[in-house]
Each structure stands twice: as structure tokens, then as C-alpha cells.
């Protein structure tokens, strides 16, 4: 399974390195989203700083949707999903490989968005350990659930609109938990951030384990 | 020795539409069979059933000793399917597409160059992204992926589509070589075939059923060829030498 995951992740990341869809489209889009949030709250700088963690994770969620759609559009374009099914690759490995590739792109994006939040929203970074651990777990949640739902919606004509509709409610608790953990790390709330981190770890375990177990059936339905 | 393919009264649905309506087929190891039939006759569906991609709702199937509906993951690595689409990644080069197929099949990297060479893709062409290749070149890359994997059963849906005369001959020679090495081939085509392939056993399909020999008209309202009885499950299908 892990070997197959590496093969699939390597293939997806190589495609992304060639196509540069993330660099040329997803990154600028996410920065524009941050900028628009900044315009919307510009008159109220304290409110903007309070809302910065939530705005950051909303931008990551939007970018995650695009990354997942891209991950499955390359499989649909020339019937490559049949090739994956015929290849003998372990479906759990295919799931983990695609999720790892999406996660790797999101982590790079989050690093850029963090710079954006600091520059645009004048956020003072603190609690680096909690910030980083939250980012890792929340990214695993977005990539895991996104990959599972991406496969679910892949065979459907309305997949571009269906995927956000299916995925947003599933990831709502993830955005909430990540936002609260970041607020705690940045000293914007008095709650314990590590509590939210535990919740994120549980969500990540559920989404990744569920996706790995169920991906074979999802591939057969596409 | 078990036959490569044994289908009996195979019924398959796409949605609620019966794309196979009681098809029977036998294929020995190392045998080549050419599927003929009009558009919608069920050729592609038959290939997908044999690949374990389309389940049967009735009837029996055995492919390379496996039930394709119950054991698709054991069967599929032994089967190479070339469908209407090539299954290539546009942003990867021809070499990278073949390399991915080889790595996915847990084969050594040595198979890559040999396959590219066999399809005339070594050199500059192997480094061009598949999305920038012509239709015929893309077809050859897809065939190179199959050559590299060396499956025991080749399922080819209009494999000559997009190929020029030179590469049609190359494909025909390749198929002769593959069959000579003991692999079985089911080739669906409604194009005029070269003498070597045209002389192979030909099976006609109509209305989701298989008719050995010349095509028969479909009896109105039955979905079956007129005058051809549906072979009950477990019975021997008619064979043409």
C-alpha cells in the first residue's frame, strides 16, 4: 500500500510540477480571496485580526476544493481512471497517494497564505508549535476527505458543483477546529488550543482510514 | 489447460440498458479473435466485462481462470485494456506515461525502453508531453504501456484508430508476435483489417449477443440475432475453427 501511495503521489506531483495549475491559478486565487477579506474588514483592523484565523482556513478550504478537482480531472481527461483500476495498484495506496499529493500542494500554499495573513492583516505569529501541528492535521483532513469525495463525484456530470456541496459540510468542523486552535495559538482566545488539536487528530484519523478502506468501492463506481 | 475466456449467457447492464444480452464466447490461450459488429452491438461492453470493469447481472464468466466480477483485483494485472480513450496523462511525457504503467505493475524499469522502441517512440518523441502528440502517436504510447506490462490477455478496442499505414503494419506485426508468445487477444474493430488479422477467427456481435461467423440480423423486439438460439448457462457455445 505505501509503495503504491508513493508511486501515485510521485505521478500526481510530477503532473502538477509540469502543469503548474497550483502555482498559476490556485495560489493567486487564494491570495485574492485573502485580499478581498482584507478589503471587506479594512475599516475595522481589530476585527480583521480577530477573524484572521477563520479567513485563513476558509481560503485553504477553497484552495483545497480546487486542488481536489484538479487531482481527479487529470484522471478523467483521457480515461486514465480505467488505467488505474487495471494497473493492479492497491486502491488504498491510490487514495493515500492522491491525498498526499493534494496535502503537499496545500502545505506549500499555507506557507504562502501565512505570509499573506501577516502582511495583509498585520497578524503577529505566536505559538509556532501549535500553529504547525494544526496546519498538518487540518491539511490531512482536507486532503483525506477531499480525495474520498473527489472520487465519489468523479463519474458525475455535475461534479464541479457537487464536490463543494458535498465537501463543505464535511469540512465545516475541521475549519471550526483549526480556526479555534489558531486563535488560541495567536492569543486571540483564552481556550486551550490543544483540545481543538485533539479533535482535528480524530477527524484526520477518521477521514484517512475511511478513505483508505472505502476508496476501492468508490473507484469501481466512477 | 483452462481457456483464456469462457462466457456463458452473459448479461450486463449500463444503467438499465442491457448492453450484453446473453453473450457466449470461448477463447483459447494464445488465440486471437476479432469482434465485428455495428456501433452499439456490444463490442466495447464485452471487452469491459472481460476486463472486470463491467459486472455481469446474469450468466457466467471466467477470464484467465478468474471470475472477473468476484476477483477483479486478481484478474486485472493480467489483462491489458486499450479502450477508445488512451488513458494517458497529458502533462507527462511518453516515457513518463510508460514508466508509470511499469511502476504500477511492479515491473523493473528495463521494460520501458524496450516498449518505447517496439512502438517507434524512442528518441525525441519519448520526451514530448503526451498532450502535444498526434492522435496516432498517443495511440502508440498507449500501446507501449501495454507492451511494457506484457499482459496475458489483450483487449483492444479499435486499436488501429488514428494510426497511419506504417504503424498499422507495426501494430499487426506486434499482435502476431504477442499471440505467438502465448498471449490471447480480443480485438474489436469495424475497420477493414489486414489479411493476417482478417484470417483470424471472427466473431460478430449484434444486439448484445455473440454470433460466430457472418453477422445475423437482430430479430425485432428480442435483442437477439434472428435464428440464433440463446445458449443456456453451462452449455457449450458454438465454435468456429
Span A105-161, pLDDT tens digits: 999 999 999 998 888 888 877 788 888 999 999 999 999 999 999 888 876 766 777
Give the pLDDT of residue B198: 66
- Contacts B87 to A, Cβ<8 Å: 78-80, 82-83
Helices then strands, each counted (H, E), chain A:
9, 0
| DSSP symbol at B183 | -
Average pLDDT over residues A186-211: 88
Look at residue B81 and give its three-state secondary structure. strand
Distance CA A179, CA A196 (A): 9
- Contacts A97 to B, Cβ<8 Å: none
B207 and chain A: CB distance < 8 Å anywhere?
A: no
Give the pLDDT of residue B213: 59
Residue from B50, B83, B87 whose CB has the most chain A CBs within 10 Å, to mutate: B87
C-alpha cell at A11: 505521478
Give the pLDDT of residue A103: 96
- Contacts B105 to A, Cβ<8 Å: 87-88
Q: Which residues pair with B34 in a beta bridge?
A: B187, B202
Average pLDDT over residues B225-240: 40
B229 and chain A: CB distance < 8 Å anywhere?
A: no
CB contact under 8 A, A19 and B100: no
CB contact under 8 A, B105 and A87: yes
Please count the CA atoms within 13 angstroms of the CA of A16 that sit on its side-chain side: 27
- What tens digit of pLDDT does each residue of B167-225 get? 888 888 898 888 888 899 999 987 777 776 666 788 888 888 888 655 444 444 444 44
Structural domain of residue A29, as residue ranges?
2-221
- Contacts A19 to B, Cβ<8 Å: 91
Distance CA B225, CA B227 (A): 6
Name the residue in chain A with its Cα closest to that of B68: A86
- Contacts B53 to A, Cβ<8 Å: 82, 85-86
Average pLDDT over residues B85-94: 94
Give the pLDDT of residue B224: 44
Exposure b/e, A40-52, CB count within 10 A at least 16 = b? ebeeeeeebbbbb
* B86: pLDDT strictly greater than 90: yes
CB contact under 8 A, A14 and B96: yes
Task: Tell me phi and psi for residue B8, to 5 degrees.
Answer: -135, 120
Give the count of domains, chain A.
1
| DSSP symbol at A24 | I
Asked if the ipTM is above 0.90, the reply is no
Q: Using alpha carbons, select from B64, B53, B5 the residue that is nearest to residue B203.
A: B5
- Residues near A74 by beta carbon (within 8 Å), at least 6 away in sequence: A12, A15, A80, B89, B90, B91
Task: Identify whether the C-beta of residue A41 lies closer than 8 Å to the C-beta of residue A47.
Answer: yes
| DSSP symbol at B124 | G
- Contacts A84 to B, Cβ<8 Å: 104
* A10: pLDDT strictly greater than 80: yes
Residue from A72, A77, A82, A86 whose CB has the most chain B CBs within 10 Å, to mutate: A86
Give the pLDDT of residue B215: 46
Give the pLDDT of residue B137: 93
CB contact under 8 A, B77 and A87: yes
pTM: 0.85
Average pLDDT over residues A178-182: 91
Which among A19, A78, A216 has CB closest to B85?
Answer: A78
| DSSP symbol at B80 | E
B80 and chain A: CB distance < 8 Å anywhere?
A: yes
- What tens digit of pLDDT does each residue of B101-147 get? 999 988 888 889 999 999 988 888 889 999 999 999 999 999 999 99
Amino acid at each position: 500500500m505505501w509503495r503504491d501511495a508513493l508511486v501515485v503521489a510521485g505521478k500526481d506531483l510530477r503532473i502538477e510540477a509540469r502543469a503548474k495549475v497550483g502555482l498559476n491559478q490556485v495560489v493567486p486565487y487564494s491570495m485574492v480571496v485573502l485580499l478581498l477579506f482584507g478589503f471587506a474588514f479594512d475599516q475595522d483592523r481589530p476585527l480583521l485580526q480577530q477573524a484572521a484565523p477563520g479567513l485563513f482556513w476558509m481560503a485553504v478550504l477553497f484552495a483545497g476544493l480546487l486542488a481536489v478537482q484538479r487531482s481527479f480531472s487529470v484522471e478523467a481527461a483521457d480515461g486514465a481512471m480505467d488505467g488505474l483500476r487495471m494497473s493492479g495498484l492497491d486502491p488504498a495506496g491510490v487514495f493515500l497517494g492522491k491525498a498526499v499529493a493534494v496535502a503537499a500542494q496545500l502545505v506549500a500554499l499555507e506557507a504562502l497564505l501565512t505570509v499573506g495573513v501577516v502582511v495583509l492583516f498585520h497578524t503577529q505569529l505566536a505559538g509556532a508549535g501549535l500553529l504547525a501541528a494544526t496546519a498538518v492535521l487540518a491539511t490531512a483532513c482536507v486532503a483525506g476527505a477531499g480525495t474520498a469525495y473527489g472520487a465519489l463525484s468523479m463519474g458525475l456530470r455535475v461534479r464541479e458543483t457537487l464536490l463543494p456541496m458535498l465537501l463543505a459540510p464535511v469540512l465545516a468542523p475541521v475549519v471550526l477546529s483549526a480556526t479555534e486552535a489558531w486563535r488560541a495559538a495567536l492569543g486571540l482566545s483564552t481556550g486551550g488550543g490543544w483540545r481543538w488539536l485533539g479533535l482535528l487528530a480524530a477527524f484526520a484519523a477518521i477521514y484517512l482510514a475511511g478513505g483508505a478502506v472505502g476508496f476501492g468501492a468508490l473507484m469501481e463506481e466512477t | 489447460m483452462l481457456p483464456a475466456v469462457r462466457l456463458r449467457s452473459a448479461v450486463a447492464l449500463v444503467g438499465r440498458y442491457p448492453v450484453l444480452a446473453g453473450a457466449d464466447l470461448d477463447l483459447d490461450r494464445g488465440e486471437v479473435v476479432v469482434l465485428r459488429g455495428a456501433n452499439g452491438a456490444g463490442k466495447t461492453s464485452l471487452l469491459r466485462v472481460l476486463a472486470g470493469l463491467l459486472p455481469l447481472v446474469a450468466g457466467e464468466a471466467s477470464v484467465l481462470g478468474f471470475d472477473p466480477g468476484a476477483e477483479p483485483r486478481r484478474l486485472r494485472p493480467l489483462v491489458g485494456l486499450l479502450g477508445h480513450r488512451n488513458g494517458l496523462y497529458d502533462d507527462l511525457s511518453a516515457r513518463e506515461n510508460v514508466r508509470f504503467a511499469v511502476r504500477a505493475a511492479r515491473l523493473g524499469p528495463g521494460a520501458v525502453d524496450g516498449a518505447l522502441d517496439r512502438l517507434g517512440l524512442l528518441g525525441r518523441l519519448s520526451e514530448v508531453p503526451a498532450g502535444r502528440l498526434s492522435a496516432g502517436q498517443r495511440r502508440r504510447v498507449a500501446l507501449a504501456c501495454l507492451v511494457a506490462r506484457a499482459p496475458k490477455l489483450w483487449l483492444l478496442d479499435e486499436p488501429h484508430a488514428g494510426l497511419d499505414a506504417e504503424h498499422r503494419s507495426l501494430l499487426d506485426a506486434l499482435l502476431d508476435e504477442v499471440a505467438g508468445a502465448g498471449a490471447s487477444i480480443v480485438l474489436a474493430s469495424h475497420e477493414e483489417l489486414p489479411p493476417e488479422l482478417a484470417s483470424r477467427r471472427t466473431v460478430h456481435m449484434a444486439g448484445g449477443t455473440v454470433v460466430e461467423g457472418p453477422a445475423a440480423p437482430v430479430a425485432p423486439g428480442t435483442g437477439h440475432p434472428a435464428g440464433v438460439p440463446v445458449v443456456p448457462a453451462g452449455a457449450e457455445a458454438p465454435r468456429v475453427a
